[in-house]
Structure 1
Amino acid sequence: MAENFNHTAGFSWLWKMAWRDARASFGKLGLFMAFIVLGIAAVVSIHSFGENLKDNIALQSKSLMGADYIIDSDQPITEKVSHIIDSLGGADASETSFSSMILFPSNGKTKLMDLRGISGGFPFYGKIETTQNDPVDFQQQNAALVDATTMLQFGLKPGDSIKFGNVTLPILGRLKSIPGSSSIFSSIAPPVLVPEYAVKSSGLIQTGSRIDYNYYFQARAGQDMKELDEKLDPVLDIENADIDTHTATSERLGRRYENFGKFLNLVAFIALLMGCIGIASSIHLYIKSKLRSVAVLKCLGVSRKQSFLIFLIQIALIGLLGGVAGTTLGVLLQQLFPAIIGNLLPFEVEITLVPEAILMGISLGFFLSLLFALQSLVGTLYVSPLEALRVINDRKNASLRARLAILLAIFVFIYLFSYFLLGDWKFAGYFVLSLLVIFGILTGTSQLFIVSVKRFFPKKASFIARQSLLNLFRPNNQTLMLVLSIGLGTFLISTLYFSRGILLKEASLDAQANSPNLILLDVQTEQAKNVSETITAEGLPVLDEIPIVTMRVAELNGKTTQELKNDSTSTINRWILNHEFRTTFRDSIIASEEIVEGRWISSFDGEGTIPVSASEDFAKDAEVSLGDTVIFNVQGVLMPTRISSLRKVDWGRVQLNFSLVFPAGALEQAPQFKVFTTKAANESQSASLQQQIVKNFPNISILDLRQILSLVEDILGKIAWLVNFMAFFCIATGIIVLIGAVRTSKYQRIKESVLLRTLGAQSGQILKIVSLEYIYLGLLGSLAGILLALVAGFLMAYFLFQSVFIPSLIPFVVIVPAICALVWLIGIFNSLEVIKSPPLQVLRKQN
């Protein structure tokens, strides 16, 4: 009979059996599908948006720059650079730009803005956008285009005027966007477009002023951007200039957003893995409930392969449906991302369907369902027909080899998919290792808790307390699965909160009573006394008067910068050789500095080589140490120095910090300008001082740190929203794991409820037992997650941010109670049927 049955039963019969059994178990398998939907949605939405972002950058690279390539410099170009520009046919457009205080004569208010003086037909790609169809021909009409938001903020309209230096121009229109303008920087210093001649004749270009000179080009037919870059970049580098092609811009922007995208991909992948835990858990309980049915089928002549395939077809079908549903949800969710982080991008992202992401989502649903279900499915291969008569065989030894092979396949998949997301095998290895550590700690925590409850069980406690604790380690308990899901989701949210706090801690303006919130830049030496008097006349303190001397590295340990640039074997960071350093001189270190090597020398008597203190970052990138010599070019004068000390600098402090600090007596006679800092108690004081400074000293720029820090908090808030959004998937998947675990053990609980009622327990007592159980699980999972986040926060503060970690109580007083309440509500809601079921009804079902 068995031989004939095996011969006639084909795929059609297996499909019918799988469908009939699945239809009868729809509730359990429906939850199994829900486990993977959220994880697939998270991965697909993030990956799809990342691909859209990459494609948009590639397509819009010319529009982002407004030209095919740019030659730029932060100082007037040399004769050689001028010859190079002429050899390219001459620049098609040029720009002189810098940040400057702009005065609005109509209301007397001022604003730090990005003053861009343009001549020629820039932009060649993309366009200057204005609101309400305002004209854009500002060069022909000798007028200005002013940032639309700034005009709205200050109540300006076309026809009003702006004043910078000794130039006054009428406002032609409200500027909405222009290629080459960073949306983030524009929030601090919004752009204002004027004819280039107006900038050059404003009188604002003085010693110490940071001026950008840009020359825009349209490529000739067949001109290779990469070849042009490779040919001109080394030559221009020597002349302190640079070439930037639209292809290089595309690659640079891609890298800038790629790391953030990878991070979000990993968080989404964790959410997917949470779903996989749910898959393994639910399938384990589902298959366990089907083992007797498998034994009956084998008694009827069904082979072990056929019984295995029946359930494999079920899992594959549900996984495929879950992949389709999760992919559809992910495609819809990615539509939200541009609205959330739109102002972090220099362009608008056009969302399109990404076939690769769609195929990946569907394939993941199918493949992961099978992979994480196989551990339980292989158990059906070793079911004996005798189990139909309740004779239990030990199948563990027989299936051990298969289980180990499946476990190895799972870890290989996690590693390979991590490598796919990160593109680096080492980082993928670190991620898998970190994941194993976190999962291991959470697993160990739950097991330790179970063992502790068993060992120190309170035998004299009340009946309700004893029963609730027994539920934590009884057969079919949910402790491990729920601690993993709740703990991991809590860990993600808390880690984000702690890291955001680390970033903002040092940036708090109110952290110290004398922390400056206004910085006055480009104060000329002859203006210093009058500027100081203006600040004090406004009732504000002069916190710092810092001298600034500009210089460049001319020689490092006997090798000139030109020799080092030509040396292909040199590993010295290029920025050291090209950068114009802003340095200062003083007789003591400040609060944000700490001497880590050498000795601080406070003064120089004019004899011998000048001792200088360098930051650790400068020493590392310049490959210098104590006693090494560096010759600086101080505006044409060569100045020999030696490294006398190395400083650890806290660059996160809201104050001016320097890579190089000279002792008193070394630079007093050098050409210099000054920076003043002060602290305004409120916006009106700040506005009043700014108006006086711009009126009397138009060359001075003022940074209002309140606005900058507000922007930083806004950016961090948006990033935090995205990461929280991903953490939500982990929590939501964990909630589904919770619902599934409760539902799959529902009948076991009904039987226990009947036994308790038979012994005299009331429904209220059973409800209290269930409540305490889920409160225990919520507390254990959330506290374990937060404690892991504390460790992660400390490690990030120490190794990544070089900051002191001061944990917040917010996660403990908000996140823990919230998660406990959520777990309790779900547990009670799913247990109501258990409590309400009449004992007679349950006994009939059992029979």
Structure 2
Amino acid sequence: MAWRDAKASKVRLLLFMASIILGIAAVVSIQLFSTNLKDNIQSQSKTLMGADYIIDTRQIPTERAQAIIDSLQPGASEVNFVSMVAFPKNGGTKLVKVQGMEGDFPFYGNINTEPAAAASNYQESGGALVDATLLLQYNIQPGDSIKIGQITLPIAGALKSMPGNSAVSSSVAPPVVIPYRFIAATELLQFGSRKEYQYFYKVSDTVNLKHLEDKIGPILDVESADLNTHTSTTRRLGKRYDNVGKFLNLAAFIALLLGCIGIASSVHIYIKEKLKPIAILKCMGASRLQSFLIFLIQIAGIGIIGGIIGSLLGIGLQAVFPYLLKDFLPFALEIKITAQPILIGVLLGLFMSVLFALLPLLRTWYVSPLDVLRVDENGSQEPKKVRFLVYGILLVFLFLFSFWLIKDALYALVFIIATVFTFTMLAAVALGFIKTIKRFFPKHWSFTMRQSLLNLFRPNNQTVVLVVAIGLGTFLISTLYFTKDILIAKTEVGQTEQNANIIILDVQPEQRDAVSKSITSKNLRVLSNIPLVTMRMQSIKGKLVNTLRQDSTRQIKGWILNHEFRTTYRDSLIASEELLEGEWRANLKPEEPVVISISDNLAFDANLTVGDPVVFNVQGVLMETTVGSIRKVDWSQIQLNFSIVFPAGVLEQAPQFNVLTTFVPDDASSAALQRDLVAKFPNVSIIDLRQIFTVVDNILDKVSWVINFMAFFSIFTGIIVLIGSVRTSKYQRIKESVLLRTLGAKNKQILQISAFEYLFLGLLGSLVGLLLALVSSLCLALFVFKEPFVPSPIPFLIFLPSITLLVLGIGLSNIQTVLRSSPLEVLRRES
């Protein structure tokens, strides 16, 4: 019976199946991708690092740290720092990451260069390996030269890839690898220069890296050094990409959820049309169980077939993710097909279909044989207890499924609550709209307008289902679009002469006036001249930092104890700062106690309040200070912000260097200034914020593309649900339209009635979805990103009319058979 009935209703059942296929495809593709990603990270962890473990420090190693480093016998070492380089061939300049390499690195993986031989002979030949993209940008070839500080080296080859370097960091500061022996000759490592020393080790498989990390790590930590093994790198990478996987899983879950809503709504209409045949079957002796199983078998079959098709589609789709995320992955992803995600897809198709169709299916259980004579909107209703039990089962299943996807009970609970709230709001708006029309029905409108409004609350209406489906789809894509705007807005800097777009770092005191003159000689203004003094904390609230490092019960974050702070001194707050506690001191006299101002995040991590004493080690000189005030700092603003600020009159005589900023109006002015400064002052580093913003915008565009690609699953599934729901209502609307034609209605009138009905539904659903997206985006902007929210007009100008027209088009396609054929012919065909 299930097979016979399915053959008679195959078009509608295929629409039910389409509702769930895309959701299953999204889940399977992402699960398969996540499995491959974890396997690749595990198998390639040594290749990613290039060694078994690394010891690194951001200062010259202490005597004790150097003794540990030497005793473990490193196979290679490196010092790296950021600096400006120049290309004598065409005068081009660029901020790069200089890596002075010594030894046979990498031990695992390869340095990929063009020509290939450059990777193995650049140290002997005394050449430089320069980022391949950088060479293309400046039209430089291997064999040309590069000027690094005070030395000029031949370019041995183009560097395509190297263990330890990521695509994102290389886009900001491209790598330039040179032999270690040339570092001193560059004269770039001066006071205040940021640098990192790394020592690479290769060990046998019998060495227990976890034991080594536990034993040596704490000792190195006291000496301001770190030990990182390839296994710890694997854990960090796994956690980083777990967040990506959680987002992708949630996007897939939304797509699947939309498909399930489509199943539930379509089966609801389908079963309502079957109530009379079911009542007839019961008159002929069919039991409750038999009539229930007929349609349960149909839905289960749909779920299994949809799961199989969705799984096969997911296998094809998951191959797209490595292409989408290639700029964020530090290795080439190898794809393997496993059976587990496919099995999950098939089981998901079965369980989700049956669970979400369970409520309308229960109506078949409660159909009475007497309903042959009295099937109506309120007949054959299941008891409320049964209905609430089904709702409870659905919520528990959704919670368990989302918990399985994102591995966090709290996030899963919040997600389910947010989803239920969104659905509730959409349904409440639809029901409120129906009641409003009933109460304030426009009796004096035209016949066609009144008929279209009546269709919104007549028996078998689809107002609630369609408003929820349309509204949720619009809500998702609009929220994603608004969020992207907020993220991009956080990186924007107004291009005015009051905002610096060139930052000049590591300017020594004796160079300060000369650098300023070089800037002003090009008709540019020095916007700021900020002194920087480096120091470390010696003691906090009377406790020595070395003692606190050994204290496992301390309430101070570890980074505070090892951090080298860049501090400054000035007599006023700046635009990105707001005083929270204490009193701001602008100047201090020579004999007065030193009071400082700290940022709120530093106060929290160091467990400091106003009045607490802190002793700093300023280049070997101890300075006693007291916390005088706590500031709130807006770190999102692209400018120099500081955790610690001293008042004027304290640090003027301390060893220091300066940071100067200026504004350049165009590329030509920027290039001319950089060429001049690099030629005169090789040690300074220049950051062109316009280049940084270009990189950030490109990254955000790629992230946005990935987000929108995933949103495609949800939106397209929503469209499939919409088509299924609207097309299913066709069978009710056809009979009404035929009756109207029989009574003398013209094709134009029938067309207008349907057009107005679906126009109302499309406009209401998309408008409510947009308004909910506005509210959610406003909350994100205020509470998460802490940014002002200026909504884009694009969703109102494009999404709103597009979705409304889509609904209108699908609705009008439903009645084409009525318009083209006679009433009797249509009724015979549909029966």
TM-score (norm 1): 0.95
In structure 1, the residue matched to 2:210 is: 226
- Contact 1:516 1:654 survives alignment (8 Å): no
Match of 2:133 among 145, 149, 167: 149
In structure 1, the residue matched to 2:116 is: 133
State the distance in 2 between where 1:398 and 1:106 align. Answer: 83
In structure 1, the residue matched to 2:586 is: 602
Once the two structures are superposed, what CA deviation does each residue of 1:253-311 show, in whole Å capped at 9, x if it has no partner? 11112112202211210111111111111111112222222222223322221221121
Match of 2:438 among 446, 451, 454: 454
Match of 2:200 among 205, 213, 216: 216
In the TM superposition, what is the alpha-carbon distance from 1:397 to its structure 2 partner? Answer: 6.4
Matched, 1:96 2:82: no
Query: Secondary structure, in 3 states, of the residue corresponding to 1:648?
Result: strand
- Contact 1:66 1:125 survives alignment (8 Å): yes
Q: Partner amino acid for 1:109?
A: G
State the distance in 2 between where 1:596 and 1:790 align. Answer: 31
In the TM superposition, what is the alpha-carbon distance from 1:210 to its structure 2 partner? Answer: 0.5
- Contact 1:485 1:731 survives alignment (8 Å): no
Match of 2:808 among 824, 830, 834: 824
State the distance in 1 between where 2:361 and 2:448 align. Answer: 37
Task: Report the more deviating stretch, 360-369 or 749-758.
Answer: 749-758
Q: Partner amino acid for 1:122?
A: F
In the TM superposition, what is the alpha-carbon distance from 1:846 to its structure 2 partner? Answer: 8.1
Query: Secondary structure, in 3 states, of the residue corresponding to 1:138?
Result: helix
State the distance in 1 between where 2:768 and 2:737 align. Answer: 31
- Contact 2:95 2:685 survives alignment (8 Å): yes
**Structure 2: 5+ residue stretches without partners:** none
State the distance in 2 between where 1:444 and 1:398 align. Answer: 22
Matched, 1:339 2:323: yes
In the TM superposition, what is the alpha-carbon distance from 1:94 to its structure 2 partner? Answer: 0.1
1:744-759 → structure 2 map (5 Å cutoff) = 744-759=728-743
State the distance in 2 between where 1:759 and 1:112 align. Answer: 80
In structure 2, the residue matched to 1:6 is: none
- The 3 A distance-change label for structure 1 pair 391 and 617 is closer
- The 3 A distance-change label for structure 1 pair 393 and 721 is closer
Q: How many residues align?
A: 830
In the TM superposition, what is the alpha-carbon distance from 1:392 to its structure 2 partner? Answer: 6.8
In the TM superposition, what is the alpha-carbon distance from 1:604 to its structure 2 partner? Answer: 1.4
Match of 1:33 among 5, 17, 22: 17
Once the two structures are superposed, what CA deviation does each residue of 1:370-396 show, in whole Å capped at 9, x if it has no partner? 111111112211222233344679766
In the TM superposition, what is the alpha-carbon distance from 1:530 to its structure 2 partner? Answer: 0.6
State the distance in 2 between where 1:695 and 1:288 align. Answer: 82
State the distance in 1 between where 2:135 and 2:788 align. Answer: 41
TM-score (norm 2): 0.97
Once the two structures are superposed, what CA deviation does each residue of 1:535-589 show, in whole Å capped at 9, x if it has no partner? 1112222111111111112211111212221111113211111111111111111
- Contact 2:84 2:682 survives alignment (8 Å): yes
- Contact 1:280 1:372 survives alignment (8 Å): yes
In structure 2, the residue matched to 1:301 is: 285
In structure 2, the residue matched to 1:253 is: 237
In structure 1, the residue matched to 2:451 is: 467
- Contact 1:750 1:835 survives alignment (8 Å): no
Query: Secondary structure, in 3 states, of the residue corresponding to 1:445?
Result: helix
In the TM superposition, what is the alpha-carbon distance from 1:831 to its structure 2 partner? Answer: 3.3
Matched, 1:189 2:187: no
Once the two structures are superposed, what CA deviation does each residue of 1:808-845 show, in whole Å capped at 9, x if it has no partner? 22222222122222222222223323433422224556
Task: Report the more deviating stretch, 280-289 or 832-841.
Answer: 832-841
In the TM superposition, what is the alpha-carbon distance from 1:690 to its structure 2 partner? Answer: 0.8
In structure 2, the residue matched to 1:5 is: none
State the distance in 2 between where 1:453 and 1:188 align. Answer: 58
- The 3 A distance-change label for structure 1 pair 416 and 512 is farther
In structure 1, the residue matched to 2:407 is: 423
Matched, 1:785 2:769: yes
Query: Secondary structure, in 3 states, of the residue corresponding to 1:99?
Result: strand
In structure 1, the residue matched to 2:625 is: 641
Matched, 1:121 2:90: no
Matched, 1:587 2:571: yes
State the distance in 2 between where 1:785 and 1:391 align. Answer: 35
In the TM superposition, what is the alpha-carbon distance from 1:665 to its structure 2 partner? Answer: 1.0
Q: Partner amino acid for 1:412?
A: V
Query: Secondary structure, in 3 states, of the residue corresponding to 2:566?
Result: strand
State the distance in 2 between where 1:371 and 1:683 align. Answer: 61
Match of 1:369 among 353, 374, 384: 353
In the TM superposition, what is the alpha-carbon distance from 1:761 to its structure 2 partner? Answer: 2.5
State the distance in 1 between where 2:47 and 2:608 align. Answer: 42
Pairwise CA RMSD of aligned residues?
A: 1.7
Q: Partner amino acid for 1:712?
A: V
Task: Report the more deviating stretch, 692-701 or 494-503.
Answer: 494-503
Matched, 1:385 2:369: yes
- The 3 A distance-change label for structure 1 pair 575 and 846 is closer
State the distance in 2 between where 1:244 and 1:382 align. Answer: 66
Query: Secondary structure, in 3 states, of the residue corresponding to 1:475?
Result: coil
In structure 2, the residue matched to 1:55 is: 39
Q: Partner amino acid for 2:116?
A: N
- Contact 1:572 1:621 survives alignment (8 Å): yes
State the distance in 2 between where 1:221 and 1:377 align. Answer: 60
- Contact 1:628 1:642 survives alignment (8 Å): yes
Once the two structures are superposed, what CA deviation does each residue of 1:495-549 show, in whole Å capped at 9, x if it has no partner? 2222222222242233544211111111111101110111111222211111111
In structure 2, the residue matched to 1:10 is: none
Query: Secondary structure, in 3 states, of the residue corresponding to 1:140?
Result: helix
In structure 2, the residue matched to 1:729 is: 713
In structure 1, the residue matched to 2:488 is: 504
In structure 2, the residue matched to 1:693 is: 677
State the distance in 1 between where 2:162 and 2:295 align. Answer: 60
In the TM superposition, what is the alpha-carbon distance from 1:314 to its structure 2 partner? Answer: 1.2
Task: Report the more deviating stretch, 505-514 or 601-610.
Answer: 505-514
Task: Report the more deviating stretch, 389-398 or 442-451.
Answer: 389-398
Once the two structures are superposed, what CA deviation does each residue of 1:109-167 show, in whole Å capped at 9, x if it has no partner? 11111110100000000100013535212111111111111111111111111111111
Q: Percent identity?
A: 55
State the distance in 2 between where 1:692 and 1:36 align. Answer: 63
In structure 1, the residue matched to 2:788 is: 804
- The 3 A distance-change label for structure 1 pair 393 and 287 is closer
Task: Report the more deviating stretch, 162-171 or 465-474.
Answer: 465-474
Query: Secondary structure, in 3 states, of the residue corresponding to 1:575?
Result: helix
- The 3 A distance-change label for structure 1 pair 108 and 758 is same
State the distance in 2 between where 1:813 and 1:784 align. Answer: 15
Match of 1:651 among 635, 644, 648: 635
State the distance in 2 between where 1:833 and 1:589 align. Answer: 74
State the distance in 2 between where 1:837 and 1:573 align. Answer: 78
- Contact 1:450 1:473 survives alignment (8 Å): yes
Task: Report the more deviating stretch, 578-587 or 125-134.
Answer: 125-134
Match of 1:479 among 443, 463, 468: 463
State the distance in 2 between where 1:694 and 1:150 align. Answer: 17
In structure 2, the residue matched to 1:280 is: 264
- The 3 A distance-change label for structure 1 pair 380 and 584 is same
Q: Partner amino acid for 1:626?
A: V
- Contact 1:588 1:602 survives alignment (8 Å): yes
In structure 2, the residue matched to 1:42 is: 26
Task: Report the more deviating stretch, 373-382 or 464-473.
Answer: 464-473
Match of 2:650 among 660, 666, 685: 666
State the distance in 2 between where 1:805 and 1:392 align. Answer: 49
Matched, 1:239 2:223: yes
**Structure 1: 5+ residue stretches without partners:** 1-16
- Contact 1:98 1:210 survives alignment (8 Å): yes
Task: Report the more deviating stretch, 774-783 or 236-245.
Answer: 774-783
Q: Partner amino acid for 2:85?
A: I
